Structure 1
């Protein structure tokens, strides 16, 4: 074993010293505005133009096709600065979900907004709803199959563009397995990695190719620009709860998932989905077919030679070297700050131990110090400026329609935790245009539609059978007493006593309620 580890350490060190295959060269080494990747030309102006077009297209799909809002004046901007999001993964202080989307009241707010705008939009009603069958109050006949397929296709198109935007604008590109498994909500065994910080959306990836040896992860934050972060927040706040409610009715076999980019089986995107999205966007916008792997070469070349070439050596994240003991280098005296060294000696340990073990901020992810978080944020913001997304006001003006007749102040949505009042009243929308009255449809029909719940009403017994089928593929319980016990737990009774024989399914009594949509501790 010792010989194997020594050989592996030697191989890793050797691999770090040997340069990779040459793939990129600059057309003009002095100006550096155009590079060639394996013969394909990529320019800075082309990248910027592609990002701007993708933001506009994704925004239009979100509002027109997913939120059924054709009127530009009814669009609103997102204000995340008031959100107090705890970044301690797994800590008790965290809400457990991005924008508290693990709470039924918050999910209802999103579903209601989409439903209301669907009912008000004549074009969307004709595409989505079977108005002739509304009077039957049959939830299965309200939505057209063609409308549901069209909506699902629009969601897929939006997520494709959103993936490219997140991958291209967050900073140095993550590996495919890092970004595809982005979770907006804590699962049973895995914590989320999507947060808000200072009014911006932050994606935190956890990955380390040497984790099997060192048992340590690298924690890398990537800050999204305001325009892209707004798309993520609006989609998760409104569209995702609505699509989940439709899946609960029309796709009962689909398992619940916490992934931002999910497939029809409830899993995260695979490499084919990611590559397809990037290839389609780059081929159409740049005239160059890039993949997840090839874009990493392009982005690193721009970052190293154009964007971050001015950064001093003191801001190269040297404190992260200690995460991989096989590749760690001895820190020389010239690399240490004398004042930091003296302060560390006063506490009886070295600088590295002082950095990694003492005084860890409670509101930051493990192994992510406030200093390194600030540096990562600056690196991401420099990349935003490189792509022309540095000015929040500029982004907002860029997304405004040029044909607006009036200089009406735009509305905004403020997501703030802990606001008192009825569920959903903390959603503050200012200056929203007065809702128009319905036309070409009887008012009674809409009253019936408005009473349709986001999720089909179920008794506790039906709910227990549905969860069992969703998680285990069958809906029959072993014993009637087992079902009664589970119903008691689902009903949140203060005390449930169940006496079952060996093999009677006692473990299922606490496992099944934990798999419900109403997450929390009982």
Structure 2
């Protein structure tokens, strides 16, 4: 397989068209990752690779996407390798613990994607064998440009230089240029050509910043290069619809409004036995029933294959998680667990006279499960002040092989408090940021900050075997708040990291358990649950319906005055009043002479601290 991959990268590099840079071709991915998209597609029966040219990223905040098409036979080899050989070789590599292991890159080894030197060595060996002259990567680029200009046409090299320009650069042209290039249709909708090409009617199944015009342009260039090598660009059994020489372009175009599906099927009709291609003058007169039935059967086969691939992908993810878990962590001894728990509880480390007491049986059971690992998703329901923080601080207090624990909190305001409290016990705790390189034992991140940079970081920690678990606090919000907080949907990606997930909450009625599992995108039997009684026996409530209209604030203030003396004198406690609107909140605070706080308030952070210190009544 390794020898095949060397020949495969050589053929892809040489036969696709103008060669890509070494780092671009070795970084091609054949499947989507958490924060990275694949670079290989099948488009109209042709295999297309898309490389990203990142020098424009810093200037324009958008990379140049350059598509290239493989010759038809090489494309068939690529499909067979990626769908059959690669999956088996990857699974075998994991089982024997040798080679590349799990990787989304087409060309990778145990250290990650191939280095450019690997491509250079292959180029030298194969060119010396076949051309009697050693060409490394840079020399071949010059040779390919010369051959393209000399034998394919001047547009070959020029096309890759000019047609790869960004849509924003194209938009900078004036109206006269747009009109000369036939882009008046874009101007008629009051938008430049770049805007139309990059933002309107763009395929949803292809990478961002890559439009249909770029695909057509680069497809023609690849086809010209294939003809130079006397290779088929498309399936030779598929005959193109011949264009009549007498049919001149008069600016009008005849469209079959019966449907694009019929039009495309007519173009794919097999040729007659005599070799001629028969084209119906009127598409609607052709009996398409056999072809439509065949297309429906093929579509069903594709759907069945897609379901099988999805099941295989799920199995590979599960095996990857087991392999990472086995390779990263040795079983902890009871003494190591006890010392970590004592540190998290601020108990003497070596004083056996001081025993560890949990707030509930469920808390102790959950902590034991979390420290032992070996589960997919564990949901823990503990009451308010039931000790949920201990469930992620204790594992981070281990003295050996502590690894990294990621704690996801739903609100930005909770980060400071969580980090501050964890630093008192764990010490090695920090909030995640873009500059995080050497992570702490406990990394806290807000849901709103879980963008591409975070997913790259989390994936890197998992691949290095340093990520131990992911903890999601207030997980019930996945069910109750996903409609107005779309970032919560991103939490479904956590399962792809292949590490145990711990879901913590104090508010998860039993009827929400199924909804939580569905929100995480996990199957039946993959989520374990530990539940403690969440009934608060020291809380009572009363509902009053005799308050007159417009008297709610006034009546509430009167009730507060009645209980204020008791709270201050006997219990030495304060009370909190929750209001239905910001206006009521300010009015109530003025009547009671206390502080107030609500979301979105100006200087909210400072106001919150003042309220926590001096608020209440």
TM-score by length of 2: 0.43
- Aligned-residue offset at 1:389: 0.3
CA–CA distance in 2 between the matches of 1:186 and 1:320? 24
The equivalent residue for 1:360 is 202
Give the equivalent residue in structure 2 for 1:142: none
Distance 1:352 1:424 in 2: 35
Residue 370 of structure 1 corresponds to which residue in structure 2?
212
Structure 1 spans left out of the alignment, 5+ residues: 1-154, 397-414, 428-453
Q: 2:149 aligns with which of 300, 304, 307?
A: 304
Equivalent in the alignment of 1:150: none
Q: Identify the residue that residue 238 of structure 1 maps to in structure 2.
A: 84
How has the CA–CA distance of structure 1 residues 467 and 377 changed in structure 2, closer, same or farther, with 3 Å as cutoff?
same
Whether the aligned pair in 2 keeps the contact of 1:217 and 1:323 (CA below 8 Å) is no
SS in 1 for 2:301: coil
- Comparing 352-361 with 156-165, which one deviates more in the overlay? 352-361
SS state of the match for residue 7, structure 2?
helix
Pairing 1:174–2:59 present: no
Matched, 1:205 2:205: no
Give the Cα separation in 1 of the matches to 2:237 and 2:141.
25
- Cα distance change of structure 1 residues 496 and 184 upon mapping to structure 2, 3 Å threshold: farther
What is the SS of the residue equivalent to 1:201?
Answer: strand
Give the aligned partner of residue 324 of structure 2.
467
**Cα distance change, pair 351–235 in 1 and its aligned pair in 2 (3 A):** closer
Q: How far did 1:390 drift?
A: 2.4
The DSSP-based 3-state class of the residue aligned with 1:168 is helix
CA offset digits 1:205-256 (Å, max 9, x no partner):
1113232233220001100011111111111122112212222221179642
Q: Say which of 484, 497, 510 aligns to 1:515.
A: 497
Q: Secondary structure at the match of 1:206?
A: strand
Q: Give yes or no for contact 1:341–1:351 (8 Å, CA) kept in 2.
A: yes
Q: Which has the higher contact order (CA 8 A, sep 6+)?
A: 1
Give the aligned length: 309
Deviation at 1:464, TM superposition (A): 5.8
Secondary structure at the residue paired with 1:220? strand
Q: Distance in 2 between matches of 1:169 and 1:466?
A: 38
Residue in structure 2 matched with residue 183 of structure 1 by the alignment: 29
Counterpart selection for 1:481 from 360, 369, 373: 369
Confirm or deny: 8 A CA contact 1:485 1:496 kept in the other structure.
no
Q: Is the 8 A contact 1:389 1:395 kept in 2?
A: no
What is the match of residue 5 of structure 2? 159
Distance 1:272 1:483, change over 3 A: same
**Does residue 292 in structure 1 map to residue 134 in structure 2?**
no
1:287-309 Cα shifts (integer Å, max 9, x gaps): 01001111100001111222033
Question: 2:439 maps to what in 1?
Answer: none
Equivalent position SS for 2:83 = helix
Once the two structures are TM-superposed, the CA of residue 321 in structure 1 deviates from its matched residue by 3.0
How much has 1:199 moved relative to structure 2? 1.1
Residues 360 and 245 of structure 1: CA distance in aligned 2, closer, same or farther (over 3 Å)? closer
Query: Which residue in the other structure is 1:96 paired with?
Result: none
Structure 2: how far apart are the matches of 1:317 and 1:375? 12
Cα distance between partner residues in 1 of 2:127 and 2:152: 21
The alignment's TM-score, normalised by the length of structure 1, stands at 0.51
Alignment partner for residue 321 of structure 1, among 153, 165, 187?
165
1:210–1:324 Cα contact (<8 Å) kept: no
1:8-34: CA deviation from partner (whole Å, max 9, x where unpaired): xxxxxxxxxxxxxxxxxxxxxxxxxxx
2 CA distance for matches of 1:268 and 1:223?
22
Which of the pair has more CA radius of gyration? 2
Change (3 A) 1:247 1:385: same
Q: Secondary structure at the match of 1:191?
A: coil
Q: Which residue of 2 aligns with 1:114?
A: none
Is 1:350 aligned with 2:205?
A: no
Task: Give deviations 1:264-293, integer Å, cap 9, x for gaps.
Answer: 33x111022101111110000000100111
Where 1:298 maps in the other structure, the secondary structure is helix
Residues in 2 aligned to 1:312 and 1:295: alpha-carbon distance in whole angstroms: 14
CA distance in 2 between partners of 1:218 and 1:344 (Å): 22
